[in-house]
Structure 1
Amino acid sequence: MVNAGSIVAIVDDDDAVRRALRRLVLSLPHRPQTFASGEEFLDSLQRCAPHCALVDLHMPGLKGLDVLDRLRMRDRRVPAIIITGYDEIGVREKCLAAGAAAYLVKPLERAVVAKAIEDAIAAAST
């Protein structure tokens, strides 16, 4: 079981999506931290390491796959769940091969997000 109070980073360039995901994460036993870009999220890792991250695939600047690459290059073990509203053939496989803990397509259901976060955090702690 995941510890209550686990920090979940939310990385999405869309303010409305960040707010909705923040509310969703708050309804779970987690503490959300929001970031408007992949760069902002990666810079924050010097101060605090989240237990999991929800990362939008399509953002200006660093895309979700770029964030996964940078995490791997920096040897940061933050399980990242890629989220997208534009599911494309082969992208799920590419994200999972790049180290994503899960790949979810918007609109996101609370139970699906909750399970993905729990699974990602549990896998990272083993």
Structure 2
Amino acid sequence: MCDPSLSQCLIGIVDDERAVRRGLSNLLKSAGYKTECFASGEALLECGQRADIDILILDIKLGGLDGFEIQSRLAASGLFVPVIFVSSYGDESVRKRAMGAGAAAFRSKPIDVDALLGDIEAVLEARRNR
């Protein structure tokens, strides 16, 4: 687990849109975080147990397994990483499903970067207070 006071957390980004992955990665790196990007949920799962990922930004609608299935498979493998779901299909039912699945946060695309950074800080603050 990362030291939240140092902001050297590894944030995984799973999105099938290259521009989204690159943009989020650049934003988070400029804020002092480390990132690792995956073009699909399958690419993330192929890496095996990734206990080094502290927070996962996970698109819901992907070109293979969807974000909910990825989160479920990670949990079934014993890896419980805080997930911030993102989606272009951000209607209320999708948001409710994401939050009901245990997401730390849900953001609609285009992503409000200040809100996303606030979500990340909230996850880190919760860890700090545990």
Q: TM-score, normalised by structure 2?
A: 0.87
Match of 1:122 in 2: 125
Q: TM-score, normalised by structure 1?
A: 0.90
8 A contact 2:49–2:79 mirrored in 1: no
1:102 equivalent among 85, 102, 105: 105
Structural mapping, 1:46-125, within 5 Å: 46=49, 49-124=52-127
User: Which runs of 5 or more structure 2 residues have no equivalent in the other structure?
Assistant: none
8 A contact 1:54–1:80 mirrored in 2: yes
8 A contact 1:79–1:124 mirrored in 2: no
Structural mapping, 1:13-28, within 5 Å: 13-28=16-31
The percent identity for this pair of structures is 33
Q: CA deviation at 1:103?
A: 0.5
- Cα-Cα RMSD: 1.8
Separation in structure 2 between the aligned mates of residue 122 and residue 44 of structure 1, nearest angstrom: 28
Separation in structure 2 between the aligned mates of residue 47 and residue 55 of structure 1, nearest angstrom: 15
Indicate how the Cα distance of structure 1 residues 82 and 47 shifts in structure 2: closer, same or farther if over 3 A, else same.
closer
Match of 2:34 in 1: 31
Separation in structure 2 between the aligned mates of residue 71 and residue 123 of structure 1, nearest angstrom: 21
Q: CA deviation at 1:16?
A: 0.8
Q: CA deviation at 1:46?
A: 2.9
Secondary structure, counterpart of 1:55 in structure 2: strand
Q: CA deviation at 1:58?
A: 0.6
